[in-house]
Structure 1
C-alpha cells in the first residue's frame, strides 16, 4: 500500500471537487422523488403515474450515467503513476588509456596465484578494474605497437569499452615495435576534440620507443599545449624472461628517464610496476588523484492512466444509452 501511495497521484486534483455538486444533485433528486409523492391525493393515480415514470427511457439510463461520472471525474483529474529516477551526468573527466600491445608484452614475469602471468594479461585485468571504478568518466582505448590504433573512442558506454579491452591480443596490430610518440599523438587528438575540464592519458608500456615518426617528448610537448596530463606506467621487470616468440625481434629495455620526463612535462606522474601488486596500486593511485564529482539530478517520469478511466466512463455511458434505447415505452 505504501508503494502504491508513493507512485500514484493526480496531476490535476482540482477536478475532484466536481464530485461534491454531483453528489448533491443525486441527493436532491432522491428528495424530489419523495416530495412528489405527497402531491397526489388519489392513490390509484399515484400508482399508475409512478409506474409510467419508472419505465421512461431516462429512468433506465440514469443509473448508468451516474456511475459513469465516477471514472469520468477521476480521469479528468489525470491519474498518473510517477517514477523518480536519480540520474548522473558525466564527471567532466575524459581519459584515454594508451595500451602497449608489442610482442614484449607476452613476457610472463608477473605472478598470479603462484602462476606466471603475461604483462598484457596483468595490464588488462587492472585496466578493467580501473574502468569499472569510474562509471561517470568518459574513457577511450588506444592500442599501439609500431603504430597506434584507436580501439575504443571516448565513451560513457563502459560495457562496450570493456568488451573492446577483452578483445585485445598481441597480434592485433601487424607492425611491430613501440611507437610511444605516435600513441601519445593519437590519444591527444581524440582528447583535443572533447570539451571537458580535465583530459588525461594513461600510457602503459614495457619498453622504449623505437618506432614512429614523432618522438615521445615532442608528442608530450604537443599534449601539454592542449592541456592534457599524462600518467606514464612502466610495466615489467628489467630481467623479464624473454620467450622464443620475440627473440628474433629487436627490443629495447625501459627508457625510464623519457617516461619520467613525459609525465613531468604534462603535470602527470611516472610509475614503475614490477609486479601485480604494484601495478594494482599504481592504478588505484591514479584513480584517487583524478577524482571529480558527477552532477546528480532527478528525472521524473509520469505514466498517464486517464485513458483507462475515460474508457470505463465511455463504456458505462454507452450502456446507459443502450438501456434507454431498449427500454419499452410506458404502458398507459
Structure 2
C-alpha cells in the first residue's frame, strides 16, 4: 500500500504501476499487424511501373495511427493502470474510543453531610460534602475511558448527571451540589433503585456494547423511609449485573437518624458483589477510592483511523469519455473524407462525359 500523505491519497494496489511500460514491450517485440490488399500478378511488372512512373509497394500495408490517436492511447493506458491501482482519498483522522465500564456515583446530600469533621488537603476543617468533592476530583482523573454518572439523594433521588465521558462536565455538576438540596433525610434504597434503572436505560440505548456496571454509594446515615429497601435493591442489582461499593462516612458509633447502619451497608455490598468501606476522615476516604480503583481497573481502548473513499471509477469514466470523443472525431473525419472523394469523383466524371460529348 502506497501513501501520499501530502495529497491525502493512497494506492491500495500500487504494484499495478509495474505494467506501465507494457505497451513499449509490445511495440518493440510483437510484430505489427498488416492489412492485406488485392493485387494482380503480371509478367511485365517492371515495364509496367516504368511506363506508369509509379513506385512499387509491398502487398500488405501497416496501419499507422495519427498523433492524436497515439496520445489518446497513452493517456488511456495511464488512466487504466491508475484505476487498477485503486487510488483512495484519506479523510480526516478519526478517533474510535471503546469504553469498558459505566460508573454511577451516588452522593448523600442529607443535612448531616454539612458536619465539618473532615480535614482538607491544606489542613483546614471542611464539611463531609466538600471532602467528597475534593476526593472525587482526584478519583475521576484515574477513570479515563469510563463513563461517569451522578445521582444525588436525600428525601428523594434524582439524576444530576447522566452517563458521560466528559470528566470536566461531570466535576462541574458535582461542584454545584449543596447540602440538603435534595432534602434532609436519607432515601438510600430509592437512590439505588434509580441507579439500576439508569443502567438499564443506558444498556438499551447502547445495544451491542457490553460494559461493566459499577455503582459507588457515599452516605453518612441509615435509610429513612425509602419505597425500596436497600437489601432488596442490592439483590436486584446483582441480578442486573451491577456491583455496588458502599462508603460509609462518619462514626459507626453514632446513634439516632444519622447513625450508620453498618449491617445494612455491609450486606448491600455483599449481596451485589461489591465491598464496603468506612471513612472516618479524608485519608480513609481517599484510601477507599484507591481500593475501589484497584477493584475496578480501567477498561479503555482508543484507536485512530482515517475514512477512505475510492476514486478509481472516475479514471475509468474519463477513459470512456475520451474514447467516445475519439471515435466520434474519427467517424466525422471518415465521413468528411468520403464526401470529398465522392464529390471529386462526381466532378471528374462530369468532365469526362462533357469531353466525350463534345
1:234 aligns with 2:248: yes
Identify the match of residue 293 of structure 2 among 284, 287, 307.
287
2:82 is matched with 74
Contact 1:9/1:82, CA 8 A, preserved across alignment:
no
Q: Structure 1 residues 9, 237: closer, same or farther in 2, change over 3 A?
A: farther
Q: Which has the higher contact order (CA 8 A, sep 6+)?
A: 1
Segments of structure 2 that go 5 or more residues without pairing to the other structure are 34-54, 56-62, 204-208, 337-358
Secondary structure in 1 matching 2:215: strand
Identify the match of residue 122 of structure 1 among 131, 139, 144.
131
Q: Deviations over 1:211-235 (max 9, x none)?
A: 4333333433443444533211123
2:270 is matched with 264
2:49 is matched with none
TM-score, normalization by structure 1: 0.65
Q: Deviations over 1:61-95 (max 9, x none)?
A: 5335524532442123212356998856443x443
TM-score, normalization by structure 2: 0.62
Give RMSD over aligned pairs.
4.9
Instruction: Please identify, of 116-125 and 176-185, the stretch whose mean Cα deviation from structure 2 is larger.
Output: 116-125
Distance 2:251 2:261 in 1: 13
Distance 1:223 1:322 in 2: 77
Q: Structure 1 residues 23, 134: closer, same or farther in 2, change over 3 A?
A: farther
Distance 1:306 1:145 in 2: 64
Distance 1:229 1:68 in 2: 66
Q: Structure 1 residues 112, 319: closer, same or farther in 2, change over 3 A?
A: farther
Segments of structure 1 that go 5 or more residues without pairing to the other structure are 33-44, 46-52, 241-249
Q: Structure 1 residues 296, 174: closer, same or farther in 2, change over 3 A?
A: closer
1:158 is matched with 165
Instruction: Please identify, of 133-142 and 201-210, the stretch whose mean Cα deviation from structure 2 is larger.
Output: 133-142
1:144 aligns with 2:153: yes
Listed as ranges, the matches of 1:159-174 within 5 Å are 159=166, 162-168=168-174, 169-170=177-178, 173-174=181-182
Contact 2:120/2:282, CA 8 A, preserved across alignment:
yes
Q: Structure 1 residues 166, 294: closer, same or farther in 2, change over 3 A?
A: closer
CA radius of gyration, larger in: 2
